[in-house]
Amino acid sequence: MTGFGKGQTKSSSTQIKVEIRSLNSKNLDLSFRCPSDFREREMFWRKRIADKLQRGKVDININREINNELKSGVNLNWIKTVMLELQSVSSETISQSDLLMMALKIPVKNDHSDITEKEWKDVDLAIDNAIVSLDEFRANEGYALQSDLEKNLLSIESGLSSIEPFEEERVKNLKNKLIRGLGEVQVDKNRFEQELIYYLEKLDINEEKIRLKFHVDHFRQSMIDGDGRRLGFISQEIGREINTLGSKSNHAGMQKIVVGMKESLEKIKEQVLNIL
């Protein structure tokens, strides 16, 4: 299921921001971005996130801001220290502008030792907060998704109830159609009734109605577990029963209702893809 979560921690020297974005996917696919100073803990964080999210296409972005750095990422303390050291080793007085130009050409020293144990814990906390935020986002989306699925299930059930008044009319229409087709031909009345009953039995939809109602109830119960694969299988069974109703309807009014039921089912199938 799609989602977005954000976690943030602050200290006197650093600020940690973690953003997690997820898209629907059957398996877990983690994309991880973090500062090079944090690489030694990447595998630990990957496992931490995988244990809690389990599946989805997930993008994690960890950003570290040092309070004495400019927004451009230039470390002011580092620049000042380098300028003083350059001036101290020079036999001549160098202008501040020249010192600055020389200092900017010297790469910043990457020393992991300046990351304290507290900062590691801050990152852990920011990640946990981002996961909680992501879960809340997913939960809110889940409630909206459940509401939409329920609306379409009710639409199918309503169509099922709307079919019933047409069933008796369908029998009368079929009988009249057969009689008109025979014209003036003399037939045995009892034999005609037997053949009519046999024909109507082939068009009987009572079993399809019972199975469709069962599948709708099963779908509704399975929504509680949130198993997208199972919901996908059940929606296929619902589709089979609706198609059979359409092929057996033999009535324009019933076929129109079946088309509406199919439209509701297609909406359900689209939404189920977000639960996988």
39-98 confidence digits (pLDDT tens)? 889 999 999 898 888 778 899 999 988 765 545 556 677 788 888 888 787 767 788 888
Query: What is the mean predicted confidence (pLDDT) over 248-273?
Result: 90
pTM given for the model: 0.61
pLDDT of residue 252: 85
For 207, the domain range is 142-272
Please tell me whether residues 40 and 129 are part of one structural domain: yes
Other C-beta atoms lying within 10 Å of the C-beta of residue 234? 23
Asked if residue 149 and residue 135 are part of one domain, the reply reads no
Q: Beta strands of 45-168 (E only): which ranges?
A: 56-66
Please say if the pLDDT value at position 262 is more than 50: yes
Model confidence band, residue 259 (pLDDT cutoffs 50, 70, 90):
very high
Q: What is the pLDDT of residue 192?
A: 66
Residues 136 and 203 both lie in one domain: no
Q: Which amino acid is at 247?
A: S
CA gap 11, 19 in Å, rounded: 18
Greatest mean pLDDT range, 2-6, 107-111, 149-153: 149-153
The string of pLDDT tens digits covering residues 136-156 is 998 888 888 899 999 999 999
Short-list 141, 137, 167, 156, CA closest to 251? 167
Residue whose token pair is 């852990």: 124
- Please tell me whether residues 120 and 149 are part of one structural domain: no
Residue at which a domain ends, from 140, 168, 197 = 140
Q: How far apart are the first and last CA of the chain?
A: 7
CB 145 within 8 A of CB 228: no
